[in-house]
């Protein structure tokens, strides 16, 4: 037991000076939970496994504080003085503290971060998103629909021209947003610069043909930051402003890669792909952190969009509750976590403007979604400038993983909002009539939802959807029928 870290019942932890965290901590046999809790608090802040004589009055003030323990449910609450974190707005440093060494502490056989709370005075020091989905909507002139996207498949192995042809087919089929897949980089069969050149030509052709602007998200994850930035610069030199996003594999390339691109390209949509997150977030894993917590750090770091899961409807593990909680943490000013209510603002919660913003948000969320969508149909511009600088901007949920045209309406019902990007890879390129028709089937599926018509009904005079309904009902991911789940 390291008593200098035990502050049960300490109410001062709610005084805006502390990042609050709740862990599920399972002690090894014979170890009491509060013992383990103080070991974790020590290792995650100022201490080690032994009390040192070199502590000073000031360093003792920086001790993390165990302020609540729930033996029955193996839960511990720890308050971290946020001044211990790197003062440059560095998310990587917070994670090194609060999900770093403590994941290896021998006294535990489980340590999983379930929720965090960032106080307003801490949020002031972190970037948060700058370019948002609203900027992408203004570029695409799409306001009454999710941003409909795809991932080019096969995941890897196409030449630049083959790749670009599929982009063209998708964009001409009515799609808006294409992303590189998460492992696409600078493979010898598809040199990055050749891929960019081919995409630009395909985009120009598709825009001429459709009269609509298009967006492509380029994966610039690379061996080092210089290479990342060289690739980013190539995209900037070849693509129109607004027509591209930068995709970074935030788990495998790392948080510093995310924040480097956020700071160097604030006006570019930053797409956080979370490949590898399952090793940290899956419910079966006794160690790590949850999807909502990972998502909160993505927003704190300033990603414009981040994958948040398909709520059990697609191919990846995930549940409606957890994935919707993550989507709310990404989108909302006020979001309920598992233990804390996070308010994404840099000002005191009592501020009347903020309270009004929260009330407006909750009023909109309570509106009938279809009538909200209809009200957006004649919107021509979203004025993001009205956004209050004192509030951390929203991060778009990017919904992907085993989705197909048949699953889209159900997913929108679960989400309860259209403010997201949805990307379907297999669910578009496997369509029996090919990519362009697969895309059109996605558009038709959304139209059916918007009109409140069943897919079967709408498919009667929409061939691409008809083929999709037959095909995906036979082959697609069987949606876990989610009934009665409230949306975002």
Cβ nearer to ligand CAP, comparing 31 with 316: 316
Cβ nearer to ligand CAP, comparing 120 with 426: 426
Catalytic (active site) residue 356:
no
31, 103, 316, 433: which one contacts ligand CAP (CB under 6 A)? 316
Distance CA 58, CA 482 (A): 53
Q: Using the rule CB under 5 A, give the single segment among 21-29, 61-69, 72-80, 315-323 that binds Mg ion.
A: 315-323
From residue 386, how far is each of 134, 367, 382, 390, 440 by CA, in Å?
12, 21, 9, 11, 35
305 binds ligand CAP (CB under 6 A): no
From residue 348, how far is each of 10, 35, 439, 450 by CA, in Å?
21, 35, 46, 39
Q: Scanning the structure block, which residue is given the tokens 């976590």? A: 337
190 binds Mg ion (CB under 5 A): no
Catalytic residue chosen out of the listed positions 68, 153, 216, 450: 153
CB 147 within 8 A of CB 155: no
425, 439, 446, 479: which one contacts ligand CAP (CB under 6 A)? 425
Q: Using the rule CB under 5 A, give the single segment among 49-57, 85-93, 224-232, 310-318 that binds Mg ion.
A: 310-318
Catalytic (active site) residue 273:
yes
CB 18 within 8 A of CB 65: yes
298 binds ligand CAP (CB under 6 A): no
Nearest approach, Cβ of residue 168 and ligand CAP (Å): 19
Cβ nearer to ligand CAP, comparing 38 with 295: 295
Structure tokens at 190: 């598809």
Distance CA 255, CA 74 (A): 30
Distance CA 354, CA 125 (A): 19
55, 103, 114, 316: which one contacts Mg ion (CB under 5 A)? 316
From residue 478, how far is each of 278, 401, 433, 454 by CA, in Å?
21, 13, 21, 18
Helices assigned H by DSSP within 125-243: 133-140, 160-172, 192-210, 225-238
27, 397, 427, 476: which one contacts ligand CAP (CB under 6 A)? 427
Number of residues that bind ligand CAP (CB under 6 A): 18
181, 207, 361, 447: which one contacts Mg ion (CB under 5 A)? 181
318, 337, 426, 427: which one contacts Mg ion (CB under 5 A)? 318
Distance CA 296, CA 397 (A): 12
From residue 54, how far is each of 1, 59, 62, 283 by CA, in Å?
19, 9, 14, 40
Cβ nearer to Mg ion, comparing 332 with 477: 477
CB 291 within 8 A of CB 320: no
Q: Determine the straight-line distance between the first and last CA of the chain, rounded to whole angstroms.
A: 42
CB 67 within 8 A of CB 5: no
312 binds ligand CAP (CB under 6 A): no
Q: Using the rule CB under 6 A, give the single segment among 67-75, 129-137, 147-155, 447-455 that binds ligand CAP.
A: 147-155
125, 240, 315, 370: which one contacts ligand CAP (CB under 6 A)? 315
Catalytic residue chosen out of the listed positions 273, 328, 346, 429: 273
Cβ nearer to ligand CAP, comparing 262 with 429: 429
309 binds ligand CAP (CB under 6 A): yes
Nearest approach, Cβ of residue 167 and Mg ion (Å): 15
34, 182, 410, 464: which one contacts Mg ion (CB under 5 A)? 182
Helix axes 291-301, 255-264, angle to 10 degrees: 30
Tell me which of ligand CAP, Mg ion, none is bound by residue 274, counting a contact when its beta carbon lies within the kind-specific cut-off of 5 to 8 angstroms.
ligand CAP
Q: Residue 225 gets which letter from DSSP?
A: H
329 binds ligand CAP (CB under 6 A): no
CB 62 within 8 A of CB 84: yes
476 binds ligand CAP (CB under 6 A): no
Nearest approach, Cβ of residue 412 and ligand CAP (Å): 16
Catalytic amino acids? 153, 273
Footprint on this chain of Mg ion (rule: CB under 5 A): 181-182, 310, 314, 316, 318
């Amino acid at each position: 037991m390291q008593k200098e870290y035990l502050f049960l019942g300490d109410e001062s932890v709610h005084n805006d000076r502390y990042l609050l965290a709740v862990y599920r901590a399972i002690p090894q046999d014979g170890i009491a939970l509060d013992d383990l809790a103080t070991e974790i608090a020590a290792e995650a802040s100022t201490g080690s496994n032994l009390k040192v004589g070199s502590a000073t009055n000031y360093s003792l003030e920086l001790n993390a504080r165990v302020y609540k323990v729930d033996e029955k449910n193996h839960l511990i609450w720890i308050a971290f003085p946020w001044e211990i974190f790197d003062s440059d707005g560095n998310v990587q440093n917070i994670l090194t503290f609060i999900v770093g060494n403590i994941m290896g502490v021998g006294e535990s056989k489980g340590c999983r971060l379930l929720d965090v709370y960032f106080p307003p005075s801490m949020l002031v020091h972190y970037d948060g998103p700058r370019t948002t989905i609203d900027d992408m909507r203004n570029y695409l002139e799409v306001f009454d629909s999710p941003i409909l996207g795809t991932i080019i498949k096969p995941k890897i192995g196409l030449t630049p021209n083959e790749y670009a042809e599929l982009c063209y087919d998708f964009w001409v089929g009515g799609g808006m947003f294409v992303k590189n897949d998460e492992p696409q980089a600078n493979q010898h069969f598809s040199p990055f610069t050749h891929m960019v050149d081919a995409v630009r030509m395909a985009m120009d052709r598709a825009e001429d043909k459709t009269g609509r602007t298009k967006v492509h998200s380029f994966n610039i994850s690379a061996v080092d930051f210089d290479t990342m930035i060289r690739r980013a610069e190539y995209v900037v030199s070849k693509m129109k402003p607004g027509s591209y996003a930068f995709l970074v594999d935030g788990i495998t390339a790392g948080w510093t890669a995310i924040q480097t691109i956020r700071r160097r390209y604030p006006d570019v949509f930053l797409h956080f792909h979370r490949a590898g997150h399952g090793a940290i977030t899956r419910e079966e894993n006794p160690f790590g952190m949850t999807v909502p917590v990972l998502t909160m750090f993505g927003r704190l770091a300033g990603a414009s969009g981040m994958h948040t899961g398909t709520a059990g409807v697609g191919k990846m593990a995930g549940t409606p509750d957890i994935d919707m909680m993550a989507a709310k943490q990404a989108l909302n000013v006020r979001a309920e976590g598992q233990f804390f209510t996070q308010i994404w603002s840099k000002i005191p919660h009592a501020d009347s403007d903020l309270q009004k913003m929260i009330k407006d948000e909750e009023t909109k969320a309570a509106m009938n979604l279809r009538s909200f969508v209809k009200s957006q149909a004649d919107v021509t511009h979203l004025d993001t400038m009205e956004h209050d600088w004192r509030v951390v901007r929203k991060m778009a949920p990017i919904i992907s993983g085993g989705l197909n045209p048949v699953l889209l309406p159900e997913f929108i019902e679960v989400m309860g909002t259209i403010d997201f990007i949805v990307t379907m890879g297999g669910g578009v390129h496997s369509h029996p009539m090919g990519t362009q028709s697969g895309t059109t089937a996605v558009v038709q599926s959304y139209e059916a939802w918007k009109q409140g018509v069943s897919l079967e009904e709408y498919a009667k005079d929409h061939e691409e959807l008809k083929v999709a309904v037959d095909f995906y009902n036979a082959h697609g991911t069987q949606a876990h029928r989610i009934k009665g789940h409230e949306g975002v």
